[in-house]
Structure 1
Amino acid sequence: MQISIKKISIYILLMLVFLYLLFFYFSDSINEIAKAGIKSDLKIIKKATLQFKKDRGFFPKNLAQLKPYFTAMPSDPWGDAYIYTVGDGWVELKCCKSKKIQVDRFGSE
């Protein structure tokens, strides 16, 4: 039995449409899972940052100074480091790859 190129093309097109619809359906769920992970990581980094300040009297200048407070340094769901900014008495943590930039700012502002 020989299958024509036309039938193969139709099957491939149908598979692509199915995969696209499947991805579209699950993409919101994947984003929600990523957002929950980001929120959890930001909370953990905040806790370590505040403990660092309690131990030393000042905020760390960068995330690398927090390594002793983690068994593994948290990274966002895409494997990138979180953006850590320290100002005069405040710290800002953010993840920019999520659809909405998630920010946690704390300290005396």
Structure 2
Amino acid sequence: MAVETAADLAGFFLFGEYAEAAVYLAPGAPIEDSTPCLVIVDRGQGRAVFDAGERQAEGPQLHIWAQFAELPAVVRRGTFRMLDEPDGIETGEIFEIAGLPRLDHEGAIWSCELIDRSV
């Protein structure tokens, strides 16, 4: 995801446009320490299939993008618990960060591969 300006970033992370409401929880932290945020989730609809010669390999199926301004620290095994709306109730969808989160070249957006831990 490439963002040219602060206005572009704000547009991407509008609730109901591209972004969804969630809370982020660091591993081992109590639920009371969760941080509300707006995230963009790819649940596999953006999945690309790569031709690998004799066989086919699929790219990561679950991915999330979050703003550094809302979440200055995002770590592996942290979870995103999805909400029906900002300050809303949990939907039951829970995503765990599978690998090492990466910041974009501007240091504005976290990119994380996920594991679905939904209940």
**TM tier, shorter chain?**
under 0.3
Higher strand share: 2
Q: Which structure ranks higher in relative contact order (CA pairs < 8 Å, sequence separation ≥ 6)?
A: 2
Higher helix share: 1
Length-normalised TM-score, structure 1:
0.20
Answer with 1 or 2: which has the greater Rg. Answer: 1
Length-normalised TM-score, structure 2:
0.19
